[in-house]
Amino acid sequence: MSNTNYIGGIVKILENPKQKILKNNLLVTRFRVQFPQVRNNCIVQLTFWGNLARDVATYYRINDYILIEGYLSIVNKKNSNQTNSNKLLKKGNITVLKIYPFLLSYDRSVMIGSDG
């Protein structure tokens, strides 16, 4: 039997990774991405933990395309834009377990491993 919330796909990075250190000295990196679709924009937040969180913040930038695998969770949040509204917004969050570079942007400000 397979797990129905395991997801894999190619996404485009929309914002710079934001890192946070939790109380137990565990590093967490989060940022928003978009699934490339013709009709609808599907934007979700990615969450990375530990060493993977450090590597993602080091190597990936805005407009890079990456291949991810992880677990999808949906969070219901109250709509703060409308007054006196009880509507709930569904926000997607993917906890990423594996990441692969797919199409990286050409302009890199930091060249890893170069001497000049």
Q: What is the pLDDT of residue 1?
A: 46
Domains of the chain: 6-103 (2.40.50.140)
Question: What gap in Å lies between CA 64 and CA 19, rounded to an integer?
Answer: 18
Placement of tokens 């992880």 in the chain: 70
Q: What is the mean pLDDT of the chain?
A: 84
Task: Give the model confidence (pLDDT) of 6-29 as tens digits.
Answer: 999 999 999 999 999 999 999 999
Q: What is the mean pLDDT of residues 24-50?
A: 90
